[in-house]
């Protein structure tokens, strides 16, 4: 089966200078992938020439006349730039010409345009951004990482269900463990939203292990951690900043003298393995869950190596049937989850379905 992906080549801080080389590298190592490079034709072809990939069979250039800037308001991306690389790439997914879209563009704009073009799955009021964070055993899937600053308890319940479906698809786990990010493990800890979300999760059929704290992300205590987008985005950026700081400190300390430089040579194999394990670029690429199509969000500041990992996330999601599994899981669990919310005195999915969604906002346009 050929896996077809669209790339928003103009998104991010660096545009085609990063997205095109990443796409070229990816198709050269994945014979069953075809990528559609969407954006301004001249700079895309210039990068293809630079990469000596003008005749690459698996790469197709799809022209788009507009670009959504990283600081463009959501309204501009949604209503005024209808021929943007972002919009055209998403339309290709909607029209089933491609199976997933990868973009490093403005998070708020990408979420808004994705939601408008692709619509949400039945039973989902708010899509969420999910991404793996490294832990001592592998990775912890975490959501939401920036799409929804403010959440109601039932939204966190929906996020848990989406995280459950995602990890089940990618890891083959029937009942991945779920944790609710809080300031303590005790049931009485947290604000009212967290307490109510905990009640909903405990009453659900999910494999909920209770509240978890920030350090549990890196211990691998649970497979999936649920939180609102504000908290999730802060945790994500803190993780990346810490990894970069540790790498810089180690490099500085080993470079202090001739003796420490010699010690660095001896320790080089260990240092390289350490660098590989904590390199946040390998975890680039967050899935926008809850949509009727696959969308992967890359960091706006990603380099070509990191953006290639985001492409791989989209490729793996298609190959593992994430969208189909998520849609099936939400359909199968819509009634039970709604009953859980009703029993706990919440609004429930049935009541939410007909209510207009509150405006969402990304924490950072470069998230």
Question: What pLDDT, on the 0 to 100 scale, is given for residue 343?
Answer: 65
Q: Residue 184: which pLDDT band, with cuts at 50, 70 and 90?
A: very high
Question: What pLDDT, on the 0 to 100 scale, is given for residue 364?
Answer: 37
- At 241 the three-state DSSP class reads helix
Q: What are the structure tokens assigned to 75, written together?
A: 């309204």
pLDDT at 286 over 80: yes
Rounded distance between C-alpha atoms, residue 283 and residue 366, angstroms = 16
Among 163-167, 239-243, 300-304, the range scoring the smallest mean pLDDT is: 239-243
Question: What pLDDT, on the 0 to 100 scale, is given for residue 334?
Answer: 62
pTM here?
Answer: 0.81
Backbone angles phi, psi at 106, to 5 degrees: -45, 120
Q: What is the largest CA-CA distance in the chain?
A: 69
- At 31 the three-state DSSP class reads coil
- Mean per-residue pLDDT of the chain: 87
Question: What pLDDT, on the 0 to 100 scale, is given for residue 341?
Answer: 59
pLDDT tens digits, one per residue of 53-96? 988 889 999 999 999 999 899 999 999 999 999 999 999 999 99
Where do runs of H (alpha helix) occur along the chain? 16-29, 41-50, 74-75, 85-94, 107-118, 153-171, 192-203, 216-219, 229-254, 258-278, 304-319, 322-343, 348-353
Choice between 271 and 111, residue whose per-residue pLDDT is larger: 111
């Amino acid at each position: 089966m050929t896996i077809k992906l669209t790339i928003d080549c103009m998104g991010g801080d660096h545009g085609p200078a990063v997205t095109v080389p990443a796409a070229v590298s990816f198709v050269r190592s994945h014979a069953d992938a075809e990528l559609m490079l969407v954006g301004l034709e001249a700079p895309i072809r210039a990068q293809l020439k630079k990469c000596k990939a003008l005749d690459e069979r698996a790469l197709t250039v799809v022209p788009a006349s507009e670009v959504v800037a990283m600081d463009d308001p959501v309204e501009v991306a949604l209503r005024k730039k209808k021929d943007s690389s972002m919009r055209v790439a998403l339309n290709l997914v909607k029209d089933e010409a491609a199976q997933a879209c990868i973009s490093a563009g403005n998070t708020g704009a990408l979420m808004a345009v994705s939601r408008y073009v692709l619509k949400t799955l039945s039973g989902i009021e708010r899509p969420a951004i999910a991404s793996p964070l490294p832990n001592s055993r592998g990775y912890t899937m975490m959501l939401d990482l920036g799409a929804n600053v403010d959440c109601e308890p039932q939204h966190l319940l929906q996020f848990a269900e989406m995280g459950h479906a995602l990890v089940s698809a990618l890891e083959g786990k029937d009942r991945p463990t779920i944790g609710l990010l809080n300031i303590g493990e005790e049931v009485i800890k947290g604000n009212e939203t967290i307490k109510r979300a905990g009640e909903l999760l405990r009453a659900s059929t999910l494999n909920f292990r209770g509240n978890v704290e920030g350090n549990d992300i890196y211990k691998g205590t649970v497979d999936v951690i649920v939180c609102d987008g504000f908290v999730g985005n802060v945790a994500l950026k803190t993780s990346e900043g810490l990894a970069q700081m540790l790498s810089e400190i180690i490099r500085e300390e080993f470079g202090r003298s001739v003796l420490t430089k010699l010690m660095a040579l001896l320790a080089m194999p260990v240092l390289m393995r350490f660098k590989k394990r904590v390199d946040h670029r390998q975890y680039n690429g967050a899935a926008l869950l809850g949509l009727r199509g696959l969308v992967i969000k890359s960091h706006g500041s990603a380099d070509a190596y990191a953006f290639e990992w985001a492409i791989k996330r989209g490729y793996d999601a298609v190959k593992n049937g994430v969208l189909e599994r998520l849609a099936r899981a939400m359909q199968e669990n819509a009634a039970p989850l709604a009953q859980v919310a009703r029993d706990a005195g919440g609004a429930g999915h049935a009541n939410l379905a007909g209510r207009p969604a509150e405006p969402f906002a990304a924490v950072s346009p470069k998230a």
